[in-house]
Amino acid sequence: MEHFLEDRKSKLEIFRTRVRKKIVKTEKIDIPSDLFIKSESCQELIYNDDFLKSYKVCPKCN
């Protein structure tokens, strides 16, 4: 029984270090509020420069 428990502990440790994914913390990135525009009719997010190039008309819904 003792051997079984030691074997199980070692396998569990291998699982924790090799198999189980580690949690990676990422930092939040500040995105300027005027970078994207949401279309009022279709709710599509549009890159601001594309919106201005298309003469302030949504390229998806026109």
Q: Give the pLDDT confidence of 12-60 residue by residue, as tens digits.
A: 888 887 777 677 788 888 888 889 988 888 988 898 998 889 888 888 8
Instruction: Please report the pLDDT score of residue 16 as a whole number.
Output: 80
- Residue 45 included in any domain: yes
- Residue 60 included in any domain: yes
Read off the pTM: 0.46
Query: What's the domain count of the chain?
Result: 1
Strand 36-38 relative to strand 45-47: parallel, antiparallel, unpaired? Answer: antiparallel
Domain coverage including residue 50: 33-62
Residues 6 or more apart in contact with residue 61 via CB below 8 angstroms: 39, 41, 42, 44
